[in-house]
Amino acid sequence: MSKVTQDELRQTLITIGAKTIATKASMTLAELLPNTLALKIPHLAERQTWLIEEALRIDEAIKSMDKHIASLLYGDKEKGYYPHPYTKILWIGYT
């Protein structure tokens, strides 16, 4: 792993679905990997895989909730939702 380039790390992160953090994470990993020792520990690998899968699942759920909330606030003609009457009032403090 110490000979892996930053670009290879970035492409790998993008491939596994971490597009939003790929550049920053690959830069950090490229700095740290030359100074680390890689040990294969099966039960930790399973935990890491589970954590990554859960993080990706939670990220997708958050995106889905954001879309649904936006459709409730601003309306969605396809779903037959009208814009919420208080949307403008609710967002005054956030603009």
pLDDT in tens, 46-59: 888 888 899 999 99
Q: Has residue 81 been placed in a domain?
A: no
Q: Has residue 31 been placed in a domain?
A: yes
Domain count, the chain: 1
Q: How far apart are CA 61 and CA 71, in angstroms?
A: 15
Q: Has residue 55 been placed in a domain?
A: no
Nearest Cα to 63, choosing from 30, 25, 95, 17? 17
Q: How far apart are CA 4 and CA 89, in angstroms?
A: 52
| Helix (H), strand (E) at residue 59 | helix 42-74
Beta-carbon count within 10 A of 13 CB: 19
Q: Has residue 6 been placed in a domain?
A: yes
Residue 42 confidence (pLDDT): 81
Residue 59 confidence (pLDDT): 94
Residue 1 confidence (pLDDT): 62
State the pTM of this model: 0.50
**Which residues in the chain come in under a pLDDT of 50?**
none
